[in-house]
Amino acid sequence: MQLIDSHCHLNFEGLAERLPEVLENMAAQDVKQALAISVSRQSFDEVSAIAEQYPHIYCTVGIHPDREDAEEFTVAELVERAKHPKVVGIGETGLDYYWCKGDLAWQHQRFADHIEAANESGLPVIVHTRDAAADTLKMLKECNTHAGVIHCFSEDIPFAKAALDLGLYISFSGLVTFKNAPLIQETAKYVPSDRILVETDAPFLAPVPKRGKQNEPSYVRHTAEFVAKLRGETLEEVAAYTTENFYRLFTKVPRWEAA
């Protein structure tokens, strides 16, 4: 069996300083590969260094939408960094109306730039959306997004259907295991098996039964087990198709092979 954590932050405090242990825990739970996500210029340097060091770790390049004062990448810079052999996606990027208020033209421009870079580089875009569902879908459509994933899904079935209609994938994090997440759970049953990914968003949002603890990539197994129960499937079935979906979306990642 093979699982992949499609979204984690290995460079963040709590994981970076114990990385060898984190990677050992991954292996023990059959989590064979992980995607380390960039959220800033500094974090890109950090996650790309981790990806260069470990053959089963890959990374992305992007600027998170939560800080207006973040130093930007130009479209050309994003495209240039996307040529790195271990860079397999653009983001995370998107819209966040929960943490950010007022005139958000800067956030829309950042999102548009990332989608343009994704389209130009041929890589998928990793989409963060919070309290911004309608505008997120509008921009994804207007910018002719060619491939991508709604990460850490927190919306409902109508949003998922619209995203699926645009050709995007849906990634479920530990949120789906929470008791107060019936809409996410209904969506996890609704999304077709050829469009689902699983992730941790570590070090955040640890799934039940680890809720309240610091999250790490090995815990993606708990999320996959929960999704399997929701859908009336086995863990092995969910592991198989979420892994296949990951490779179909992130085409630069080679299939894992046992040493």
30-59: string of b/e by CB count within 10 Å (b at 16+)?
bbbbbbbbbbbbebbebbbebbeebebbbb
User: Helix or strand or coil: residue 113?
Assistant: helix
94 dihedral zone (left: phi>0; alpha: psi -120 to 50; beta): left
The annotation status of 66 as a binding-site residue, yes or no, is no
The annotation status of 9 as a binding-site residue, yes or no, is yes
> How many CA atoms are closer than 13 Å to the CA of 48, on its beta-carbon side?
20
Q: Which residue, among 142, 153, 135, has the nearest Cα to 119 in the 3D structure?
A: 142
Q: Which amino acid is at 138?
A: K
Q: How many Å apart are CA 5 and CA 231, to the nearest integer?
A: 20
201 within 8 A of 10, measured Cβ to Cβ: no
Total residue count of the chain as it appears in this document:
259
The annotation status of 201 as a binding-site residue, yes or no, is yes
47 within 8 A of 60, measured Cβ to Cβ: yes
Q: How many Å apart are CA 69 and CA 91, to the nearest integer?
A: 17
The annotation status of 222 as a binding-site residue, yes or no, is no
Tokens at 45, concatenated: 């340097």
Q: In what order do the strands lie in the sheet with 57-61?
A: 3-8, 31-36, 57-61, 87-96, 125-130, 148-150, 169-172, 196-198
The annotation status of 45 as a binding-site residue, yes or no, is no
Numbered residues of the known binding site: 7, 9, 92, 128, 151, 201
List residues forming the annotated binding site for a divalent metal cation.
7, 9, 92, 128, 151, 201
